[in-house]
Amino acid sequence: MDLIRFLLALAAAFAFIFVFDFGFHGIYMKDAWYDAYAQFWRPPEEALMHMMLVGQLLMALAIGMTLVFSGKSGIGAGVSAGCCVGLAFSSLYLVFYAVQPFPGGMVFNWVLGAVGESILAGALFGAIYRSHRHRI
C-alpha cells in the first residue's frame, strides 16, 4: 500500500463527502423533508458537528479500506467499494425506518443519497489510488 497515495485519496474522498452532504442534507433534504419534520432533529445550536465530521471521515476510510483490501485498483474497483459501503451504510436507514416514525419518502432519499455518494466517493478514491496497488 502506498500510504501517501492512500492519504491523498482519503482526503479527497472526505472532502467530496463533506461537500456532497452539505448539498444533499443541508440544502436538498432540508427543504424537501427536514424542515417539515423538525421534531426529529436537534436544534441547530445543539448539533454535534464534530461527530458529523468524524462520521464523514469514517465513511471515506471505509471506502478506502474496502478498495485496498480488495487487492484491486482504479475507478471501477472504487465504484465497487463505494457501492458496498453505501449499501451497508444505507441499511441502517431501513432499520431506523422500522423502529422510528420517519416518512418513507425521506428514507428512500437517504438510501439513494448514501449509495450514490459512496459510489462517487469510491470512484474518486479509486482514480487517485489506482496506479499504486502493488506497493506494500
Q: Which domain holds residue 86?
A: 3-132
Q: Which residues contact 31 (CB under 8 A, 6 or more apart)?
A: none
Q: How many domains does the chain have?
A: 1
- pLDDT the model gives residue 136: 41
Between the CA of residue 30 and those of 24, 25, 41, 56, what are the distances in Å?
Answer: 8, 6, 11, 18
pTM of the model: 0.89
Per-residue pLDDT of the chain (136 residues; tens, 9 = 90+): 789 999 999 999 999 999 999 999 999 999 889 988 888 889 888 989 999 999 999 999 999 999 999 988 899 999 999 999 999 999 999 999 999 999 999 999 999 999 999 999 999 999 999 865 444 4
3-class DSSP state of 136: coil
